[in-house]
Amino acid sequence: MLTRISLRGRILLFFAALAAGAMAALAVGMWFGYHREGSPDMLNAFMQSAIAAGFLILALVAWIWFLFDTHLARPIDKVASAMRARAHADVAHDFQADDARYLGDLAEAASATAATIAQTRGALAEQVQRETTRLSSDKNKLEQLLADVPPAVLLCTGRHHLVFYNGVAQQMLAGSQRPVCLDRNVFDYLSEGPIRDAHNRLLEGSDRDAVVEFICLSPCGRRRLAGRMRLASDNGGDQAAYVMTLRDVTTEVAAYARRDALLGDVFLQVRPVVSNLRNVLLSREVDVRGEDAVSTQIQVLDAALAELEARFESCRSDGWPMAPTDARELAGQLRRELEVRKLSLSSNAAELAVRCNAFDIVSLLAHVVTRIGEQTGAARFHLAISESAGAADVTVTWEGRSVQPDNLAVWLSEPVFEGGVTCDTILRAHGNEVLTGNTEGQPAISMRLKPIERLHPASADISRHVVYDFDLLSRLHYDKLSEAQMDALTYVVFDTETTGLLPEQGDEIVQIAAVRIVNGKRVKNEVFDMLVNPGRPIPASASAIHGVTDAMVKDAISVQEAVRQFHRFAEGAVLVAHNAPFDMEFLSRREKDVGLRFVNPILDTVLVSATAFGQAETHTLDALAERLGVVIAEEDRHTALGDAIATADVFIKLKDMLAGRGLTRFGEVLTRLRSHQRLVRDLNDHARVS
C-alpha cells in the first residue's frame, strides 16, 4: 500500500505520525500530572500549558518536515529522476548537484555514476560506429538505388500494413486522400479486391517463391496500376508478409484503347463502303447513274480514309517513349550538343514541361541547325520556347540568309545520326512539323510541342528517400488499446500556432504541423506542415511570437480544410501534444463544420512529465528540453513544426523513462497520468482504451 505513495508523501506521513505521537505523549503526560496533583484549580494551567506545548510541537515538527522535504526529499526525487533520465532516456549532459548538497556523498556518487554511464555508453557507441560505418555506407547506397528504381516498391505485413515504401511509391500514391505513412493500411491507397485476391493465391499456393501479377486501381479510380506480388522471404516471423511492385499503366491502357477503337472503326466505316462498291460493280450498271453511284461511294471511302488517317497520326506517338521534360533542360541539352559541333546557342525558355522524347527532339533540332550553319555560314543561334494556346512554340533564329522549304524538306528526310531514324519519323511520332519563316526580322525555323504542363516548385525531394521499419513485421497486434505496449502504438505529435489564446472569442489556427512516431522512433520523412488562413487578421503581438503574418497566409487553405487534412494524417494514431487541451480546443470547434470527429486517444507531455519527474518540477517545453538534452534551435522555437519535433523527441525520452519504471502498457500509463489532472485536464473520456 505504502509503496504506491511517492517518497515525499511517505516522509510527510512519517512526520504526521511523529507529530501525532508527540501530541499523544503530551496528552498522556499532562493527564498523569494532573491526576497525581489532584487539585481542580490546576486544570486551567494544565490545559493552557498543553495547548501551548502542542502548538510548539506541531510548529517544530512542521518546520523540521519542511527542511527535510526541501533539502532531502525533493533532492532525492530530483537525483532519482536525473538518474532515470540518464539510464533510460539517453541524456548525456552534466549532472546538476547543487540542489542536492545536503545529501552528503549521494549527489556526488550519483553524478559519478551518471558520468560513468555516459562514458561507457559513448565508448560503446564509438566502437559500434566504427564497426558499422561500412554497413551504413552500403545501406545508404542501397536506399538510393531503391528510391530511384522505376516501379513503386511496397513491403506489407500479413495484415496489409505498410512496412517499406520508396519515393516512387510515395509520388504514385500521393494523389489519394491520405498521405502515405508507415503502418497505414495499404487499402487506404489501392483498391482492396485485386490485392487480397493475389495475396490469397500466394498463401494458398505451394510455391513460396511464386509471383502473382494483377491489375488494381487507385482509390479515386484515375490510375490503373499493374502489380507483381510475392511473399517476403525474410519476414521477421510474419509468414504472410509480401513485397509488391506497382507500375502506372494508365497511359498505356488508354493508348491501346485508342488503337483498338481506331481498328474497330476501320472495319465499321470502310467495310460498308467496299460492300456497296462491290454491289454496284457486280450489277454491271454502266449507265451514267451507275457511274454516279461508284463515284459517290469512292468519295465516301476517300473521306472515311482521310478521317481514319488523321486519327492514326494522333495515335502514332502512343508507342513512342515520351516523358515530361523541362523546357529549360531541353534548351540546355541542345546547347551542349551544338557546342560539340562548334556552334553557339543562346536560349530563352519558359518554366513549363513538354511531353516528348527529349533525345529525339534535341537530335532533330541539332541536325537541322547544323545543316543551316553549313548552308548559310551562321555560327550563332537563339532558341526561344514559349507557351501559346496550350502548346510550346519552339523557335530557332539566326543572323544571315534564310533557308528554302525545299532544302528543309531534304534535311528532314535524312537520319539524325548514322543508322538512326529520320527527322520525318520523329516529327510524325510527335504529330508535328517544322516550318520556315521570319521572327522579328530574322530567319527562323519553328515547331510546336504539346501537351505541356506547368512546373511547380517542390518543397522537398522525397523521391530520393525510402521509408521503412522492418521491425513492424514482428510487432504484435493488440485488440485492446489498454493492453498495447507503448512502442506498439503509432503516435502523431502536433502543435498549432494561432491568432491568440481565446478560441471561444474567435481566435483561429494560422499554422499546424505534426510528425509521426512509429515503433518508438520518429519517422523523419513523414511530416505534416501547413500554413492556414484564419479568415481574420493576425494580431501583430501574435506574429511577433510565431512569425506568421497576414501576407504569408493570404493564399493558404482554410481552417476547415486544414482540420480535414490533419484528421486524415492522424487517423488511427494516438495524438500527443504539449498542453493538449489548448490545441485540441481549436480542432474540436471545427468538427461539426467538417463532419469529422477526433476520437483518437490523447497524451499530454505535461502529464507524462509529471509522471516521470513528479509534479513539483517545471513542465514547460523549454524546461523539459533542457532537462532531457533535446536541442531546440532558436529559429524553430514557437514555430508549429519546430515545437512538434521538439515535443516528439521529448515524448520519446519520457516514454523510455516510464518504461524504466515498469510502465510499458498504454492503460497503465493513462491511469498514472490521470492522477496528475490538477496540472492539465485529461482528454481521454471520448477514446476507447479498454
Eight-class DSSP state of 661: T
Annotate 474-503 with three-state secondary structure: CCCCCCCHHHCEHHHCCEEEEEEEECCCCH
Q: Which residues contact 316 (CB under 8 A, 6 or more apart)?
A: 428, 429, 431
Q: What is the CB neighbour count within 10 angstroms for residue 34?
A: 17
Helix (H, G, I), strand (E, B) or coil at 356: strand
Taking the CB of residue 479, how many other CB atoms lie within 10 A of it? Answer: 6
**Active-site choice (35, 567, 638, 676):** 638
Name residue 467's amino acid.
V
* CA-based R_g, the chain, Å: 39
Q: Which residues contact 96 (CB under 8 A, 6 or more apart)?
A: 82
Counting every residue written for the chain, the total comes to: 690
544 conformational bin, left if phi > 0, alpha if psi -120 to 50, beta if neither: alpha
Which residues, 6 or more positions from 435, have their beta carbon under 8 angstroms from its beta carbon? 445, 446, 447
Question: Grid coordinates standing for 269?
Answer: 466505316
Residue 602: which of 512, 534, 680 has the closest Cα? 680
For residue 630, give the C-alpha cell: 533535446
What is d(CA 370, CA 381) in angstroms, rounded to the nearest whole number?
A: 10
CA-nearest of 312, 156, 180 to 229 is: 156
Phi, psi angle pair for 514, to nearest 5°? -155, 155
Instruction: List Cα–Cα distances, 40 to 30, 31, 35, 44, 47, in angstroms.
Output: 14, 12, 9, 8, 12
User: Which class for 264: exposed (0-12), middle (13-18), buried (19 or more C-beta within 10 A)?
Assistant: exposed
User: Rounded distance, CA 136 to CA 51, Å?
Assistant: 76
Active site residue 567: no
DSSP 85-145: HHHHS---SPP--GGGGGGTTHHHHHHHHHHHHHHHHHHHHHHHHHHHHHHHHHHHHHHHH
CB atoms within 10 A of CB 431: 14
Q: 446: which residues sit within 8 A by CB, 6+ positions away?
A: 393, 394, 395, 396, 434, 435, 437, 439
Asked if 167 contacts 148 with a C-beta cutoff of 8 angstroms, the reply is yes
Closest CA to 660 of 612, 609, 608, 602: 612
Q: Is 496 within 8 Å of 512 (Cβ atoms)?
A: yes
Eight-class DSSP state of 3: G
Label each residue of 377-415 as H, E or C: CCCEEEEEEEEECCEEEEEEEECCCCCCHHHHHHHHCCE
Residues that are catalytic: 638
